[in-house]
Amino acid sequence: MKQLVFLISISLGLTSYSQKSTDFFSKSDEFFRTFCKDGKVDYTRIKQDSDLGELIESLKNDEIPAGKEKAYLINAYNLLVINKIVTKYPISSPMDDPGFFSDESELLNGEKISLNALENDVLRKEYPDPRLHVSLVCGAIGCPSIADFAYQPEVLNQQLDAQALRAFNKSSFVYQLEDEKTVYLSEIFNWYKTDFGKNNKEVVEYINSYRKEKFNLEYKVAYYPYNWKLNDVKEASIMRTTEPVDMVDSELLPVDNSLQLFNAGSLLARGNMDVTLFNTLYTENKGNWLGVDNSGYRSTFVTHLLQFTIGTSKNKRVNVGFDLSFKSSGQSSDSTFSGIRNAFLYKNNDSSRVGLTNVGLRIKVQPFKAVSDFTIQSTLSMPTIKHPEGLSSNTEPNLYWADWDRITWWNQLFYTKTFGDFQLFTELDFLFRFKNNKSQIGMLDLPASVFISYFPTNKITMYAMTQHVHRYTNDIDANNPEITDWVIPSNYTASGLGFKYQLTPDFNAELLYTNFWRARNAGLGSTFNLGLKYLIR
């Protein structure tokens, strides 16, 4: 009798479990069919009257049905995204919430989880399938169109194929321009390239397997910027198919895996933060002054530059931040590389200096809404230690050079262009150093830099750079004998090779070697650089 009761209870439990699973898929299907249309979501109607709350409650408490996990979790992701938007609606983009994808604010089967973790640590890890990227919808126009049905375990493969056919034949998602001999793809194929193939050609081959009109495999591949505007039925799509610029929303920048493309000109979304520590060792044992080469010494300067930046504007066109520069320097009569040791004595005397030498306030803007590749950054910094340019005195201890004893106004113009696996980054600077006292003269440096980056994988970046700098000085007043600090107009050129590795989607490390290979009235040497960057979003 007890065995019979036990078997009946198991049977009833399984029946209840199966019924809950069936109810979830059927109710989800009814939800998507009611509130999703033409790839958009009717958030207004959902907020006013829907069963979304009941579906979210079932996700929180119910067990994930065995054998149906993949379909269940795809539906769960899309429902959680919609629910997160509805709770904050009206909003213009999921990026209005800095922690939209990273906050562990969702409950799934009693466990806290973030949308990023659900996508990357669960679905992509446990069920690797490129078609996930056409079924998971992040709430933005740049995503593939959301389905107006729920994914069902029994026909999941057919549904995913149908979604891939729909997405890969949609000219606002992937397209080809014959006159440019270019295939333009969504950034999704760049962020998750390894899910589709080993290189651009394999990615296009995968897309072609679903296309009615095949892309030319000989054409180059480029990625148009992601459109993070909300996929609301009330919002008209700005996407067109005639020119790639029409598919760009300059206010909304890619986030997921975008750290690889991040550079000095990139802007952060509101509330997102960038913490960068760049460590530089510059050592010089040659110089060219008034046409005469000289050596027999070694001057070394070590800089630890900490930069903090935060996105401040809703339209992602303004960032502000501050810089802290800690330096140690030294000079030695030992011209071999071992002569760098004086820079690490961390003493203040006639051959070594150390200290927090200057602080700066910084603002970065995108001045033209329609030109997202162009940004301007302006930094105003000032010295924070006494006698930073050194001191020769009969009354005080002599001090070696630490930094410029001037208020510095540094204006940088950045332009970036990405071409498939390559990125061109250019920079033109106007760096003013204003004199602090009568014994100085003002200076203007005009550095121009070019960086060419190559992305062999979605974690590795290799790049080459070159920089040329002209320095100008203001006119000396011959009638004022107090002006004695004559700075000779000079120029120099440096080139280098760098390597970046993306340790996590939000953290990378960078190595750069630079050689100052020519100069006129300037020093010649090398730099060894280690950079660490962390994005908080």
Domain ranges of the chain: 21-256, 266-536
What's the pTM? 0.56
The predicted pLDDT at position 242 comes to 32
The predicted pLDDT at position 527 comes to 97
Q: What is the pLDDT of residues 390-438, one digit of tens each?
A: 988 888 889 999 999 999 999 999 999 877 678 899 999 999 998 887 7
Amino acid at the residue 521: N
Q: What is the pLDDT of residues 440-482, one digit of tens each?
A: 778 899 999 999 999 888 789 999 999 999 988 875 555 554 4
The four Cα atoms 92, 97, 101, 102 give a dihedral, to 10 degrees, of: 170
Indicate the pLDDT class of residue 128, thresholds 50, 70 and 90. Answer: very high
CA distance linking residue 271 with residue 103, whole number of Å: 13
- The H or E element containing residue 84 is helix 69-88
Of residues 99 and 346, more confidently modeled: 346
Q: What is the pLDDT of residues 302-324, one digit of tens each?
A: 999 999 999 998 667 899 999 99
Q: Do 408 and 358 touch, CB atoms closer than 8 A?
A: yes
Phi/psi zone of residue 110: left (φ > 0), alpha (ψ -120 to 50 degrees), beta?
left
CA distance linking residue 449 with residue 415, whole number of Å: 11
The predicted pLDDT at position 239 comes to 35
- Average pLDDT over all residues of the chain: 85
Q: What is the pLDDT of residues 152-193, one digit of tens each?
A: 999 999 999 999 999 999 888 999 998 889 999 999 998 998
Amino acid at the residue 321: G
% of the chain beyond a pLDDT of 70:
88
Whether the predicted pLDDT of 235 surpasses 70? no
Residues 6+ apart with CB under 8 A from 183: 174, 175, 176, 204, 215, 216, 219, 220, 221, 222
In CATH terms, the superfamily for domain 266-536 is Autotransporter beta-domain (2.40.128.130)
The predicted pLDDT at position 169 comes to 92
